[in-house]
Chain A
């Protein structure tokens, strides 16, 4: 079973190797009502319109697509608007990719982080040659308080869109729900914070050059960080898992701070010589909680105990809890499954994320990056949409108040709302 990167969508992207499965909303399964066929026909109109709009983007902005090194050794995957996914594709050069892209007009384009001897073959015959090291920081994993308020929840039973994140539909009490992410400024701020934390781990701890690290906005509610350092290419899944555990602060032992606690929680100093190796996580934690082992003269255990008691008074909890809390604050909330899966295919850099209509784009300056300006490539020309909700969005520095019903708005806002399932295109009949 291979998972596409956007695995967290309730439209589960799960299928057998080599098979083309129809993936999308299964109306029969979810018992969707056909309200005079309007629902189904609006899906089709949306698909047609988005298809046309995405095609326009690729025609005008193909240069945005970052053609990966050794393209001929990569596996590509295309998802079409009807939900069909085609994997195990391979292209000799960018020209071939472009021609295929225009021919097939996919909603999403994916590319492997790995290079293979036979990228077209099934997974067991591909002959894996190595992979970039990839990290995924997703807004869902941050569990921010604001997201409960500004996200929406779609019910698959009655098709109602609820404001906020709910466990039951406010309309029919159904439980077959899907969360629609509408990241706000706060979400983007905290996502960037995680990215910056990750960069410090990669450069300071792992010694990876900044020029070998690329930060991409995922196109929806997160960031992808690609490491193209040849030293890490040959790492297997279990080894990548070790790297992600390090970054996530998993498995840290108190002894790594140079002290140990017995059953009665009495602390003693260990590894006298290791005190000088105040680096990595040890340095990080020690600096954060102001734990200074080298300040204790002559490695006096009484001195250590006094130092720890002082900290416990300041933080108002046990020393072990202080360390645990600090680990949580200083670690990065990455998705470890993404990092360790060497056979995963990722959204191709510079291509559209059909969940939002925004583009997975490189962030040259993470601090200044604004996805609603920098990842938005559609036109100003206005179109009509029928919005299912009242919503306020910000695009290209402007605020747009959208009301339920008919709205006349720029194409770039329309793409976003329709891709999110919050609106339908309103095509005037001639």
Chain B
């Protein structure tokens, strides 16, 4: 059954195709962002990005759908104009957290609201290319296919996400609203990054350029202190670790297993917790207090003095983090390359 999204839906989910269609149908020209009347949209976008970068804050207040859609579009333009991939990824995380909140609320309401349910089914189908089904026997549960679940859950470290700890029947896994949305958080973030990547513009509106330059200089100031000498690349760095360094430089978000590998390796190689925090600062979802807490645990300084060892090559391969080259011959743990060198 085809369902048309309402204005409140478009306000909450401006990344949907129907939102783009609205912009097209109103014949909105991007150069209109240079008009004075549009300043408040650009200011709104800029403040949103800046608050998140500086303070990790997000704002969930919704305005009219036209404002939300244009704010979202302006944000994408500003980020595209900066050409700094890390910023795009951080923004993508910000927005995905915002949309997550709306999705969870809507999913919970959908048990009583048929229309809302259909809108959500449409969103999951359009954005994530999967179908979710309402579980009729038990309240507040949806179900998705086992394969759709497993493809995403393998990237979660926590035991609760393992398939064996889920309710599974007839090819479906049963999840509540929080769980379903959490499962798709990464894809939501990637969707936004793709939107920025795919934007093709000959010129940017001047006001957009102004905002992006402000953002750029803020980022460069903050980023200046984060230069870390990782050591001569060829002599000491195992290929799997080098790949993680490169991913961080590209502003990519690393899965938990990758972070664990990098952190334990850096700890073992003698880097201090402060040095390692500086490395992780470039991750889109970096939070210093959490990172510090985790590093202190990994190093054995807290949590019963248990020190975590660097994962073996076999485990690294299982997590699909292996990028072996000839240097890896005969190696069963990346630390052997440290010792070799």
Query: A280 near B162 (CB under 8 angstroms)?
Result: no
Name the residue of chain A whose CB is nearest to the CB of B152: A239
Contact of B162 among A204, A238, A251, A273 (CB under 8 A): A251
- In the bound complex, what is the Cα–Cα distance between A236 and B155 (angstroms)? 12
In the complex, which residues of chain B have a beta carbon less than 8 angstroms from the beta carbon of A253?
Answer: 159-160, 165
Name the residue of chain B whose CB is nearest to the CB of A240: B150
The contact string, 1 if C-beta is below 8 Å from chain A, for chain B 109-148, is: 0000000000000000000000000000111110001110
> Does A409 touch B at the CB level, under 8 Å?
no
With both chains docked as a complex, state the minimum distance between the C-beta of A285 and any C-beta of chain B, in angstroms: 11
Please report the number of residue pairs spanning A and B whose Cβ atoms sit closer than 8 angstroms. Answer: 91
- In the bound complex, what is the Cα–Cα distance between A237 and B319 (angstroms)? 9
Name the residue of chain A whose CB is nearest to the CB of B154: A238
Most chain A beta-carbon contacts within 10 A, residue among B139, B168, B170, B174: B168
> Does B318 touch A at the CB level, under 8 Å?
yes
Query: B146 near A252 (CB under 8 angstroms)?
Result: no
Contact of B164 among A232, A251, A277, A279 (CB under 8 A): A251
Chain A 224-245 interface residues, beta-carbon cutoff 8 Å to B: 231-232, 234-239, 241-243, 245
- In the bound complex, what is the Cα–Cα distance between A274 and B165 (angstroms)? 12
With both chains docked as a complex, state the minimum distance between the C-beta of A263 and any C-beta of chain B, in angstroms: 13
- In the bound complex, what is the Cα–Cα distance between A221 and B141 (angstroms)? 44
Contact of B169 among A204, A231, A235, A252 (CB under 8 A): A204
In the complex, which residues of chain A have a beta carbon less than 8 angstroms from the beta carbon of B168?
Answer: 205-206, 246, 279-281
Chain B 159-193 interface residues, beta-carbon cutoff 8 Å to A: 159-160, 162-172, 174
Query: A280 near B169 (CB under 8 angstroms)?
Result: yes
The contact string, 1 if C-beta is below 8 Å from chain A, for chain B 213-225, is: 0000000000000
Name the residue of chain A whose CB is nearest to the CB of B147: A231
Query: A242 near B165 (CB under 8 angstroms)?
Result: no
In the complex, which residues of chain A have a beta carbon less than 8 angstroms from the beta carbon of B172?
Answer: 207
In the complex, which residues of chain A have a beta carbon less than 8 angstroms from the beta carbon of B160?
Answer: 253, 255
Query: A246 near B170 (CB under 8 angstroms)?
Result: no
In the complex, which residues of chain B have a beta carbon less than 8 angstroms from the beta carbon of A123?
Answer: none
Query: A256 near B164 (CB under 8 angstroms)?
Result: yes
Q: Known: A231-B145, A238-B320. Is A277-B138 also a contact (CB below 8 A)?
A: yes
With both chains docked as a complex, state the minimum distance between the C-beta of A7 and any C-beta of chain B, in angstroms: 15
Chain B 220-236 interface residues, beta-carbon cutoff 8 Å to A: none
- In the bound complex, what is the Cα–Cα distance between A125 and B80 (angstroms)? 35
Q: Known: A277-B138, A279-B169. Is A239-B150 also a contact (CB below 8 A)?
A: yes
With both chains docked as a complex, state the minimum distance between the C-beta of B165 and any C-beta of chain A, in angstroms: 4
- In the bound complex, what is the Cα–Cα distance between A253 and B166 (angstroms)? 10
In the complex, which residues of chain B have a beta carbon less than 8 angstroms from the beta carbon of A232?
Answer: 147
SS of B interface (majority): mixed
Total contacting residues, chain B, CB less than 8 A: 29
Q: Known: A208-B171, A276-B138, A277-B174. Is A241-B164 also a contact (CB below 8 A)?
A: no
Query: B170 near A207 (CB under 8 angstroms)?
Result: yes
In the complex, which residues of chain A have a beta carbon less than 8 angstroms from the beta carbon of B147?
Answer: 231-232, 234-235, 239
With both chains docked as a complex, state the minimum distance between the C-beta of A66 and any C-beta of chain B, in angstroms: 25
Name the residue of chain B whose CB is nearest to the CB of A276: B138
- In the bound complex, what is the Cα–Cα distance between A120 and B166 (angstroms)? 40
Chain B 67-109 interface residues, beta-carbon cutoff 8 Å to A: none
In the complex, which residues of chain A have a beta carbon less than 8 angstroms from the beta carbon of B164?
Answer: 245-246, 249-252, 256, 281
With both chains docked as a complex, state the minimum distance between the C-beta of B337 and any C-beta of chain A, in angstroms: 20
Name the residue of chain B whose CB is nearest to the CB of A283: B169
- In the bound complex, what is the Cα–Cα distance between A282 and B163 (angstroms)? 12
In the complex, which residues of chain A have a beta carbon less than 8 angstroms from the beta carbon of B163?
Answer: 242-243, 245-246
- In the bound complex, what is the Cα–Cα distance between A235 and B138 (angstroms)? 29
- In the bound complex, what is the Cα–Cα distance between A232 and B170 (angstroms)? 14
With both chains docked as a complex, state the minimum distance between the C-beta of B23 and any C-beta of chain A, in angstroms: 34
- In the bound complex, what is the Cα–Cα distance between A218 and B275 (angstroms)? 55
In the complex, which residues of chain A have a beta carbon less than 8 angstroms from the beta carbon of B169?
Answer: 204-205, 207, 279-280
User: Knowing that A231-B147, A235-B150, A241-B154 are A-B contacts, what are 13 other residue pairs whose CB atoms are under 8 Å apart, sorted by A's residue number?
Assistant: A204-B169, A205-B168, A205-B169, A207-B146, A239-B154, A242-B153, A251-B159, A253-B159, A253-B165, A273-B139, A274-B167, A276-B137, A279-B174
Give me the 7 closest cross-chain CB pairs, A-B, nearest first: A207-B171, A280-B168, A207-B170, A277-B167, A279-B169, A256-B165, A276-B138
Which B residues contact A (CB, under 8 angstroms)? 137-141, 145-147, 150-151, 153-154, 159-160, 162-172, 174, 318-320
